[in-house]
Structure 1
Amino acid sequence: MELPGEEGEGEGEGEQRPPAPSAAESYAAEALAADMDPWVVFDARKTPRAEFENWLETNWPSQVRRFGDPERDVGPVGWIAVYGPDYIHGEGDVAALQQDWERLQASGRPVTFDTVKELALNSGVLSGKWLIYLDSGFKVDHAWEGIARATLDGHIAVAKVSPRGPDSSDSRHVICVYNQTFTDQEEVVRLDAAIRATGIKCQLSYKPDVYTYLGIYRKNRWKLCPTIYESRFDLERVPRRSLITYKVTSTEVT
């Protein structure tokens, strides 16, 4: 829920503090700021493969600082990304999506997964991503190397990872691995398999990009869960594979 403004003692009588941003609004603002800051990108469509090893070694996520290093004249970095050789950028009509979103909220209709999905289909904003959260250091660097190489080899279309945060003692990273259509369940499952093939066994969550564009994050005012799939790797099954749950209906996919 959005937090209400509070009355407080100001310089003038009756002066009020501005409303505090909700948690979801804070998360959305942080994500937007990262998107707008410069990215470090290896684009396999136009960069020689021979340059990849040096690029990877130079840009480990645990070493690249989100807000730069003024002493070394290094600026902020929003994301570290790899574009695969067959990657085609397409995000749909985001402006139309956001206009429809405003109309939906003004209409009084319930904001549910189905109503947001309808907006996504109408605007063509259909991409989504598996999210992998890892501690800074060896864990994230090792996982990112596997994802980056799979992207370079064309098994994954595009992926990105967040750089190291300002608090080095408790820094977490997120790796985002994308597919084109969040409504295509088979495509979502295939992408999970491509991620697992790199050796990653931790829990994964899947988020449609329409939620990102509309600011639907944790603790949002509509009480929507910001992820629609969850993947847990089952080490006891033979052959080993993911157990994927579609959270919208609480049904097991695999």
Structure 2
Amino acid sequence: MAAVMFAACGSEGSIVPEDADIFNEEQDIEEKDGEMDGEMDGEIDTEPDTEPDTEPDTEDSGPDAETDVSEEEPDTEPDIEVEDDAPDEIEELLCEDGDTRVGTCSDNPDKVQDQECGSEEWVPVGECRCPEDNKFCNPVLNTGVLREWSDLSPRVTYIEGETFCESIGGKLPTVQELRTLIENCAQTEWGGTCNISSYSVQSCIGCEYMGTSGYYSVFKDTGNLWSSTSPQGSPTYVYFVFFTTARIAPYLKDSGKGYVRCLPK
């Protein structure tokens, strides 16, 4: 009986090894499968390392993506250097002694003035004058009328005075227009007691002699100025205004010299 049981146990024991072999074979297969999976996983994991993605991501094509790209781009535009202009400005201000030019008048920006270089600086020379593009740059408001006068001419005859005015596009003033340039003399200034409306051969004495002070002139003129007005019946005469005394008197056209201030035609 005991022998039978041993035999049975032995047969059962022989079954166990067979099952164990089957189990071991299945385990070996699973391990091999695992190793193959591991190898495959390793190949998949290492592919990104061997071939890096160098192409930019083009999927984000919206405004944000464009903004990111523009922010990363370096600013290649050169900065404006103000200091570079400074030497040029300095060169314009400097000059060589003896150079001359026509510049803006320091006393009147509507006029120009000759300038000469001295000690590398521009120095005004001579009187201010009207520029070439505006020969009537001396405005005077009188009797409610704004008149624009030319500069004072050189000393000329009556005929030369007419020619001077015509050369700058102007005309000689009438004696009444010329009276608007008189001041400080109630007799002969515009609206004064001197009555030459009939333009007969007569004179208005004017006021006290003031020499060359220019006291009776709006422009501080001190010479005798020609008008275009002749006394009635005396075409060879025209009225003069003597600014040393503010006197108004007729004078022969063909005799002597004086000055003119022109008005636009």
Report the TM-score, using the length of structure 2 for normalisation: 0.23
Relative contact order, CA 8 A, sep 6+: which one is greater? 1
Report the TM-score, using the length of structure 1 for normalisation: 0.24
Q: Which has the larger radius of gyration?
A: 2
